Amino acid sequence: MGVFATSPESRRRHRSQQVAFAVLLAMTVLLVLPVLAILGMLVWRGAPALSLEFLFTAPVRGMTAGGIWPAIVGTMWLVGVSLAISAPIGVLAAVYLNEYARDSWVTRVIHLAIVNLAGVPSIVHALFGVGAFVLFFRFGTSILSASLTLAIMTLPVIIASTKEALAAVPMTFREACWNVGASRWQTIWHVVLPNSIAGILTGIILQVSRAAGETAPILFTGAAVFVPFLPQSVNDQCMALSMHLFTISTQVQSVPQSITYGTALVLVLLVVLVNGVSIVIRSRIRRRRKW
Amino acid sequence: MTKPQGIRTENLSLWYGQFQALLDVSLEIHHGRVTGLIGPSGCGKTTLLRCFNRINERIDGVRTAGHVHILGEDIYAPGVDLVELRKRVGMVFQRPNPLPLSVRENVLFGLRIHFRRGELRKDELAHAVEASLKEVGLWEALKDKLGHRATSLSLEQQQKLCIARLLPLRPEVLLMDEPCSALDPAATQRVEQLIRELRDRYTILIVTHNMAQARRISDECIFMLLGKLIEHRRTEDLFISPKDERTANYVEGRFG
Ligand SMILES: Nc1ncnc2c1ncn2[C@@H]1O[C@H](COP(=O)(O)OP(=O)(O)O)[C@@H](O)[C@H]1O
Ligand SMILES: [Mg+2]
């Protein structure tokens, strides 16, 4: 036997490595298949419904025909207003927690609260939204109430993801800054934020899809089954894609399947579009800043 | 009366929570000389250095007692502006830490922080970049690469750039924490050369793990052990005829 001949031991290791590889590959395929299946079915059954008319007109005849334009517009309002509230608050809160707050039991309680809030089911946020915004603050069922509810739901996740992005900026950068006499705020503004903005944006944009997809938080707070006009201000009610999908697939009889699947497809495409934009932005920023 | 220069500490102690990392350190570091700071790992060299620009305070649970005078002023007195202090006392770290900006913006970073846009003329900035890079011997190599990312430079160039970054603020004291430990021997030699060239204009305190390096570049040397200052003398004397037995054991490599 030569010195370099494979020993039984190394042959055995090689075998188990191959087995592990096969298992992991199978897992990956198992993971990807359902996604592809869902997308495939949506496209197959929804694509025929898609047309400019479907996108840009209102539903007619008890939502059994026509388009989904009011729902698209409503979803944009809800997502836009809710993120306009939760993104700045969330980022500032995360900056405070990560860059200013000293480690004390108060900050630890806050961390715990954020982690737990992020895990609260959306129907609970919905109830809170009804109690707080619709009834107590008397915003009524309106875009404002619904957006605030969505903002409450997305806020903890945005704080958590932003904190993570900030924590990923090496400490040595901050020290380099302090070392030339920069204040904490200057350090954050000139070094920490520019180097974490990609991660921060990613976290926020992931919440776009979440806010667009949820039904429960808007169900009782501001989304309506059918509104014959487009919202003019945050005090109006609106339709929303997720809500519309829920309604036409469970509450209304004899809706052609193509309309249901078409609505779902538009919702998914919207989310994919937003995520795509975020990926482009992120890779742009990444290319600019590297360490 | 001439202004006192250099660094003087009186009974400087520092605690990380319950753990006392510096015990009654009293010393005097002179302007225009390179002072080496040696001692085994964990003896408090970095901690001592970081007392001189008060950067330890950013760590939770740190408590300091005693006095530190820099340029004759007690830097722990109330009313001391940390911004002014840190402009005067620059620090170079163990690992080069250029900011992820261009070479040029790294050098100008301090100025950008302390002056508003429009307060600095273009030619002043250009001059500051050239002067600083010349002082650390990087100008020839980098004058055509001012727009390049600082993080793409070699480690040696990065470390020199980190020194250059301090200079536009006209510092008096340069603190260096094992500035060569990430560099190869040839680069180490060139950075040592640079430190020797900077000697006359600044008060330089350099932590080193490397005994040979301490002998090569320092005029005076301080030996620390377990948070205490054991011996502080001219470098030759400290290495050739140490007074304290612990110093002798350490410089002869009997423990490290
Ligand atoms: N942030 C910190 N918190 C608690 N203890 C620390 C901290 N930094 C350093 N120490 C302790 O203080 C002592 C001195 O550390 P340091 O100054 O880094 O030593 P050196 O630079 O000489 O290796 C060590 O025992 C170290 O464990
Ligand atoms: Mg150290």
pLDDT in tens, B85-141: 998 999 999 889 998 889 999 999 988 888 887 788 888 889 999 999 988 888 988
Q: Which residues of A touch B84 (CB under 8 A)?
A: 181
* C-alpha to C-alpha distance for A102 and B190, rounded to whole angstroms: 41
Residue A163 lies in a domain: yes
The parent domain of residue A58 ranges over 52-288
- Domain holding A109: CATH number? 1.10.3720.10
Same-domain check for residues A145 and A222: yes
Best mutation site among B41, B43, B175 for ligand 1 pocket (most ligand atoms within 8 Å of CB):
B43
Judged by its nearest atom, the ligand closest to the C-alpha of residue B44 is 1
Same-domain check for residues A21 and A136: no
Q: What is the pLDDT of residue A94?
A: 94
Same-domain check for residues A45 and A75: no
Q: Shortest CA distance to A246 belongs to which of A265, A263, A233?
A: A263
Ligand 1 atom 21, closest CA = B46
The alpha-carbon gap from A52 to the nearest alpha carbon of chain B, in Å, equals 47
Same-domain check for residues A102 and A24: no
Residue A121 lies in a domain: yes
C-alpha pair distances (Å), A183 with each of A98, A187, B113, B166, B212: 15, 6, 9, 16, 38
Helix (H) or strand (E) holding B211: helix B211-217
* C-alpha to C-alpha distance for B14 and B44, rounded to whole angstroms: 10
Report CA torsion sign: A146, A150, A151, A152: positive
Do residues A187 and B119 make contact, with C-beta atoms less than 8 angstroms apart? Answer: no
- Helices and strands (H, E) in chain A, number of each type: 12, 2
Q: Which residues of B159-169 are buried (b: 16+ CB within 10 A; e: fewer)?
A: bbbbbbbbbbb
Interface of A with B in 152-181 (CB under 8 A): 170, 172-173, 175-181
* Å from CA of B16 to ligand 1 middle: 8
| Dihedral pair phi/psi, residue B15, rounded to 5° | -120, 135
Residue A102 lies in a domain: yes
**Helix%, strand%, coil% for chain A, nearest 5:** 75, 0, 25
Bridge partners, residue A212, by sequence: none
With H, G, I as helix, E, B as strand and everything else as coil, classify residue B256. Answer: coil
* Å from CA of A269 to ligand 1 middle: 54
Do residues B94 and A172 make contact, with C-beta atoms less than 8 angstroms apart? Answer: no
Q: What is the pLDDT of residue B57?
A: 83
ipTM score over 0.85, yes or no:
no
Give the distance from CA B135 to its chain's centroid.
16
The alpha-carbon gap from A161 to the nearest alpha carbon of chain B, in Å, equals 22
Same-domain check for residues A42 and A61: no
Q: What is the pLDDT of residue B65?
A: 92
Same-domain check for residues A152 and A14: no
Residue A175 lies in a domain: yes
Q: Shortest CA distance to A165 belongs to which of A109, A108, A94?
A: A94
- Both tokens of A263, joined, read 């609505």
Q: What is the pLDDT of residue A257?
A: 84
Q: What is the pLDDT of residue A179?
A: 86
Q: Please indicate if any CB of chain A lies within 8 Å of the CB of B95.
A: yes
Same-domain check for residues A36 and A123: no
Q: Shortest CA distance to A180 belongs to which of B48, B73, B3, B164?
A: B164
Residue A2 lies in a domain: no
The amino acid at residue B176 is: M
Q: Which residue has the tokens 């423990």?
A: B255
Ligand 1 atom 9, closest CA = B47
- Cβ distance A177 to B84 less than 8 Å, yes or no, reads no
From first to last of the 291 residues of chain A, give the pLDDT tens digit: 577 877 888 888 888 999 999 999 999 999 999 989 999 999 998 888 888 888 888 788 877 778 888 899 999 999 999 999 999 999 999 999 998 888 788 989 998 999 898 889 999 999 999 999 989 998 888 999 999 999 999 999 999 999 999 999 998 899 888 888 888 899 999 899 988 998 899 899 889 888 998 888 888 888 888 887 888 888 888 888 998 899 888 888 888 888 899 999 999 999 889 888 888 888 887 776 554
- Both tokens of B84, joined, read 């002014």
Reported pTM: 0.81
- Cβ distance B86 to A289 less than 8 Å, yes or no, reads no
Task: Count the domains in chain A.
Answer: 2
Cβ count near B17 (within 10 Å): 11
B66's torsion region: left (phi>0), alpha (psi -120 to 50) or beta? Answer: left
Residue A148 lies in a domain: yes
* Å from CA of B25 to ligand 1 middle: 15
* C-alpha to C-alpha distance for B150 and A291, rounded to whole angstroms: 9
Ion ligand 2 residues within 5 Å by Cβ: B 46
Over A49-100, what HEC string results?
HCCHHHHHCCEECCCCEECCHHHHHHHHHHHHHHHHHHHHHHHHHHHHHHHH
Bridge partners, residue B62, by sequence: B16
Q: What is the pLDDT of residue A95?
A: 95
Give the pairing type, strands A65-66 and B89-92: unpaired
Residue A172 lies in a domain: yes
Same-domain check for residues A106 and A36: no
Same-domain check for residues A106 and A231: yes
Do residues A222 and A131 make contact, with C-beta atoms less than 8 angstroms apart? Answer: no
Residue A3 lies in a domain: no
| B144 pLDDT above the threshold of 80 | yes
The amino acid at residue B105 is: E
Do residues B187 and B155 make contact, with C-beta atoms less than 8 angstroms apart? Answer: yes
- Cβ distance B100 to A177 less than 8 Å, yes or no, reads no
Residue count (chain B): 256
C-alpha pair distances (Å), A215 with each of A146, A151, A155, A246: 10, 14, 17, 8
Q: Please indicate if any CB of chain A lies within 8 Å of the CB of B169.
A: yes
**Chain A residue closest in CA terms to B50:** A179
- Cβ distance B84 to A291 less than 8 Å, yes or no, reads no
- Cβ distance B55 to A179 less than 8 Å, yes or no, reads yes
| pLDDT tens per residue, range B27-60 | 999 888 899 999 998 999 999 999 998 988 878 7
* C-alpha to C-alpha distance for B244 and B231, rounded to whole angstroms: 7
| B1 pLDDT above the threshold of 50 | no
| Domains, chain B | 7-97+174-251 (3.40.50.300)
- Cβ distance A178 to B112 less than 8 Å, yes or no, reads no
Pocket of ligand 1 (CB under 6 A): B 16, 19, 21, 39, 41-47, 59
Same-domain check for residues A19 and A69: no
Same-domain check for residues A163 and A44: no
**Cβ neighbours of residue B7 under 8 Å, at least 6 residues apart?**
B27, B28, B29, B52, B68, B69, B70, B173, B203, B205
**Cβ neighbours of residue B28 under 8 Å, at least 6 residues apart?**
B6, B7, B8, B9
Q: Which residues of B touch A191 (CB under 8 A)?
A: 99
Question: What number of C-beta contacts closer than 8 Å exist between A and B?
Answer: 65
Same-domain check for residues A130 and A238: yes
